[in-house]
Amino acid sequence: MIGLVLSDSFLLCGVWEVEGSAKILKSISRVQFSDPITSVLYQEAELNTILAPALRQASEEHTIDGQNVSVVIPDIFLTHSALKMEKDLGRDDYWDFIKWLDRKKGKPEGQNQLIFGQVYLPDDESIHVCSVPLPVVRTLKLSIIEMGAMPVWMGPASSLYLDGTGMSEAAMIQRHGNRYTFYKVQNNRFDMGKIAFSGGAPRVINSTEAENVTLAGLGLEKSELDDIPVFCPQKLGRQALSSWEASDFRSPETFSDINAEDHQVNLNGIPYYEGSIMTQLIHSIATDYSFNFFNEPGITDFLFTTVIDAHKQMLALHAEEASIEEQEATNAETAPETAPDNLWLLAAAVLIVLGFIGFQYIKLREELNLPLFGKDKSYTIERTAVSRVNQIERSVIQSSARLLQESQAISDALLKLLIQTDLDRYNTLTITKNFASMEYTSGMNPNIENILELEPTSFSVEPLGTDSTVFSWYYTFDMPDLASVNQGMTPLSKEDLLLQLDTTLTDYSLKYFDQIFLENQIYEPLLLWARDKSNILQASAVLSNSGDRILLRKFVLFNSYEHPAPRAGFYLSLLKD
């Protein structure tokens, strides 16, 4: 399992495995961003420019391909609210009402969000509403898929504590200056707010429930009402801790009850807050049940007894499997061996040892130029000095050929779409070696599957407006494994490419990255941003005739059909000799 914890300035990536009730940490690293991301959460192009290299570096440091990936978003990036429920309204009514409230907020243009709701059963007291920036979800999901991994869960850090500790009632607090934001679930009801301390006395700044209920629930006021555990992922100072002495305050040590010794994982330099979040992600039992930003927006039902029962069943299954393995091992150790079996094993071992000694003796004499065989006939043993070189050369050729075929497939798909569709009608378009995904706006069926000559893996249509004359067409395709390569073109050098771009494009920018050293190949990543329709078409034409030393690894397009201003990113790899 892979865990990613997002922050403003870096990404924390951890890899672990579960054996029964034991959690074994295999590796962890902190990947620094080139720039802070808080200011670009709603700017998909800029966000992708920052996150993509960090995720690529994480994939190089850890084995991510084929793994399940969970992502934790800090609550400061999200918008939380609590909506009181009425018994006479259905879920569809509430969902329509939530979307209506969101439209009435008067958000800035381009600030697109996905909205999710969660109801704590069985009481249906309130809906926990959470909004997440759309570019964050889309960028991370597509990047994870591109790395060959499976995005299985994305959610708030607070959900790990409210839903995943195995406790049906809990609260999480986060300190901001001299105030604390709290999220809590008590009596199957979600509430939130802010509190502060003045002279050691708690004061409710705002809350979605009565002040006395808030203070009693957090254990800050003596009351006949029950208090609940209060979790804090931050490391508080002595004075701050004293304010919470009366409560059931819990701040578990980072990576507690997690085995980091087997793989000698170095935990030095891991920030306390993000380390706490990663710890809770590893221990969480509810990621399969909490609302999931990777799923379609909507309202999710959450029942603690279902989560706890499933966890108990999993532990019982692991215990049964461990018991069977232990019994089989015990039987194997205590089973008597017959004398003939022992005799044959001994004879085989002796022959193996003698053969090894003899081979080493012959090898030693040959190295000393004292051959045993044919010494009177000038017998020599020839060594192939270039076999390793030939092996490396074949490996480089095979690797380069594969990269070239992937690049050709991306380029072919892109050219087909640019020639046979209108670039201004795309809202998004992403093409990688694994998949192509797009949103196209048109009053007529664009028949993208016929253009690409591929069967879509997912397809949907949504009307825009009330007249239903214009539609959004959503497509996802799996890219073909192989593509024929045009061997007739003259390869461009890096200098030739830069010269052509400079003479044909009027509005573009380049971003250089450090060279990447693989076992038998070196390549230099380069990101080309082209702005407006003309420059995007020109850049595509140049790159389609760049030869086999400049590879197109990914293409992303950002645009708005209502206000066309397309921007496209070409992710390139310049192969080094």
**Structural element, H or E, at residue 424:** none
Residue 228: the pLDDT is 94
Residue 436 and residue 455 in contact, taking contact as beta carbons nearer than 8 Å: no
Residue 226: the pLDDT is 85
Handedness of CA 167, 318, 256, 24 (dihedral sign): negative
Residue 308: the pLDDT is 85
Tokens 């329509």 found at? 96
Residue 390: the pLDDT is 46
Buried-exposed string 373-400: b where 16+ CB fall within 10 A, e elsewhere: eeeeeeeeeeeeeeeeeeeeeeeeeeeb
Residue 473 and residue 447 in contact, taking contact as beta carbons nearer than 8 Å: no
Beta bridge partners of 472: 441, 462
d(CA 473, CA 449): 12
Residue 461: the pLDDT is 87
CA-to-CA dists, residue 221 to 76, 227, 247, angstroms: 27, 9, 9
Residue 182: the pLDDT is 97
Residue 225: the pLDDT is 83
| Both structure tokens of 534 | 């003309």
pTM of the model: 0.67
Tens of pLDDT, residue by residue, the chain (577 residues): 999 999 999 999 999 998 877 899 999 999 999 999 999 999 988 998 999 889 989 988 888 888 999 999 999 999 999 999 887 778 888 999 999 988 888 888 888 899 999 999 888 889 999 999 999 999 999 888 888 889 999 999 999 999 999 899 999 999 998 899 999 999 999 999 999 998 889 999 999 999 999 999 999 998 888 899 999 999 999 989 999 999 999 998 999 999 998 888 999 999 999 999 999 999 999 999 999 999 999 999 999 888 888 878 776 766 666 666 666 666 656 655 544 556 666 777 777 777 767 766 666 555 555 555 554 444 444 444 444 444 444 444 455 677 888 888 999 999 999 999 999 999 889 999 888 999 999 988 999 999 999 999 888 888 876 666 888 899 989 888 665 555 555 678 888 889 999 999 999 999 888 777 665 667 788 899 999 999 999 999 999 888 878 889 899 998 888 888 999 999 998 887 6
Beta bridge partners of 457: none
